[in-house]
Structure 1
Amino acid sequence: MKILVPATTANLGPGFDCLGLSIGLFNSTIIEKSNFFSISIYGEGSESLSLKKNNVFVSIFNEVYQRLSGKKDTFRFIFENKIPLSRGLGSSSSVIVGAIGAAFEMTGFKVEKQKILNEALKYENHPDNIAPATLGGFVVSVVENENVFSIKKSIDESLSAVVVIPNVPMSTNQSRAALPINLSLKECVFNLSHSSFLTACFLEKKYDLLTIASKDLIHQTRRMKNLPELFEVQKCALENKALMSTLSGSGTSFFNLVYKEDAKYLKQQLEQKFKDFKILSLEFDNKGFEIC
């Protein structure tokens, strides 16, 4: 079997740990029953010995497979990774969702996306990345009684993503360490109102209001200080036709949403100014993970 899982961008500014969307950049994994265990990695992480020795995908897959089937079979895994590691584009969520979905498929259980999403919550305790990786599109999620409740909106074909990927990684734990323990009432109200407004903008296709809706007071500025060039990335994007420009997840990547006809121009402007960063123009994904 083969499973494809998309990259994701989370938070979208004010929607800390609850908003996310799915981007058309995929990790694919081929899994075959075998007489002996083997693992091959191509693309992102191909030179990492730790990914071959302590592969999280393999660990989660085996754990779920054995729980569902009651058997300890051996498999060959072939990974082709296009999602950058530790850049805030959902690489860890793609691993979690992919491993669980593949385990359900290989044991013959029906692959129900809601069930996969609830299983994924056991490995990642907030749904902002795992929900769009599972469902695709723009997704709003809440967690109640260890279950994820999500509302998905497909993203218009008139929109594109322009993603800025710095050459500096950032772990989620490192990035979260920059956040305060306490927040003011003003900061909380600001983010609640902007997160609600941003959701309404996507649901009602009021994309020209996203520049206002995507503002944040809780996490972005604090995290961006770890790589000050990101302030210039955001400024450049918003001055060159981006509808919104937000830190992708915990960083260091920056996500820019733009009308499709403006994507090439924005990409060129960013490439001219940030020559050491990778700039990708990508479609959105409205399907979530797929089993081929």
Structure 2
Amino acid sequence: MIKVHVPATSANLCIGYDCLGLALDLYNHFTFEKSDALEITGCDPQFQNEDNLVVVAFKRVCQYLKVDFPSFHLHIDAQIPVSSGLGSSASCLVAGIAGANAWFEANLDLQSMVTLATQLEGHPDNVAPAILGQASISYFYKDKVISTIVSCHGWHGLVMMPDYQVNTKKARKVIPSSIEHDKACLQVAHALTFMQALQNKDEDKLLASCMDYLHEPYRRQLIKEYDDIHQYCFERNFPMWISGSGPTMMAISIKEENIRNLYLWMKENYPNIQCHFVTIDQKGVSVDYE
């Protein structure tokens, strides 16, 4: 029996559209066992077939390794909410790749796994941190993905999940095709500052760098609670952002008290929004054998 554990992720991190991501200590668990036929349990019946993203990714590794696709029983224990902006789909792709790697004892290196997952996902900001852990910067170069791990720990976070969904295609359509040159320069400066501040636990610089020009000014209109929560956090000098394409939002702080107070404020003002305390996952995808 092979057990694969994949962390949730927060993609974009405000200023890193499609290239920055952060792994969180909320997990999906996947079990692979030998079986006479493909069997999938633990998920909605509509996903209990070969179109399941875990199976799709497993097959992609089979093609890459030039081996036959085996039969197995896949059981999914999902703790990451679906279509919430926390990398649920990415976790399935990563699980399929890691599961196949373990099944065939292929010893794929992490960067190859990131590349395979990105080829399926389309962009690396969710799959890279799910594989690598911590925070990561990733982009395509020629036919592979280049990833850099940014070591970070000690941050306390709160993910805030409204009780509705934001369609990813709609969220991409609201983004303009170009921005002004001066804003592009600021975007680069903010991204560089953000990653160093995250690593150095410099909350003041992290807050100052959380000013995006690529997607948040346009996607915020799709999340009706965004402006109020954003104002609360920034008035108290800690950052928050849209996780992925939303509607989930995330706030982080070095000071646990800030996050605890935000949680209490959310419960009072937005009781219908689910809130979860999180920290930064340190190791990414992991595999156990039984």
Q: Provide TM-score, normalisation by structure 2.
A: 0.92
Question: 1:130 matched to which residue of 2?
Answer: 127
Question: 1:25 matched to which residue of 2?
Answer: 26
Question: 1:254 matched to which residue of 2?
Answer: 249
Matches within 5 A, 1:167-186: 167-186=163-182
What amino acid does structure 2 have at the position aligned with 1:213?
Answer: S
Question: 1:118 matched to which residue of 2?
Answer: 115
Matches within 5 A, 1:247-286: 247-262=242-257, 263-286=259-282
Q: How many Å apart are 1:260 and its aligned residue?
A: 4.8
Matched, 1:234 2:253: no
Question: 1:34 matched to which residue of 2?
Answer: 35
What amino acid does structure 1 have at the position aligned with 2:99?
Answer: A
Identity %: 28
Secondary structure of the 1:122 match is: helix
Cα distance in 2 for partners of 1:233, 1:51 equals 35
Say if 1:236 and 1:52 are closer, same or farther in 2 by CA, change over 3 A. Answer: farther
Cα distance in 2 for partners of 1:92, 1:134 equals 13
What amino acid does structure 2 have at the position aligned with 1:255?
Answer: M
Query: Would you say the 8 A contact 2:151–2:199 is kept in 1?
Result: no
Query: Would you say the 8 A contact 1:69–1:107 is kept in 2?
Result: no
Per-residue displacement from partner, 1:215-236 (whole Å, max 9, x unpaired)?
A: 1122102111112222112222
- Provide the alpha-carbon RMSD of the alignment: 1.7
Matched, 1:216 2:217: no
Query: Would you say the 8 A contact 2:56–2:93 is kept in 1?
Result: no
Question: 1:98 matched to which residue of 2?
Answer: 95
Give the counterpart of 2:239 among 244, 253, 270: 244
Question: 2:152 matched to which residue of 1?
Answer: 155
Per-residue displacement from partner, 1:5-58 (whole Å, max 9, x unpaired)?
A: 1011111111111111100000110000101221111xxxx4x33222431111
Say if 1:86 and 1:237 are closer, same or farther in 2 by CA, change over 3 A. Answer: same
Query: Would you say the 8 A contact 1:236–1:270 is kept in 2?
Result: no
Matched, 1:203 2:204: no
Query: Would you say the 8 A contact 1:240–1:266 is kept in 2?
Result: no
Structure 2: unaligned runs, 5 residues or longer? none
Say if 1:140 and 1:33 are closer, same or farther in 2 by CA, change over 3 A. Answer: same
Secondary structure of the 1:93 match is: helix
Q: Provide TM-score, normalisation by structure 1.
A: 0.92
Question: 1:193 matched to which residue of 2?
Answer: 189
Per-residue displacement from partner, 1:258-279 (whole Å, max 9, x unpaired)?
A: 2253232221112211111101
Per-residue displacement from partner, 1:136-183 (whole Å, max 9, x unpaired)?
A: 0011223211222222123223x1110001111123222111111222
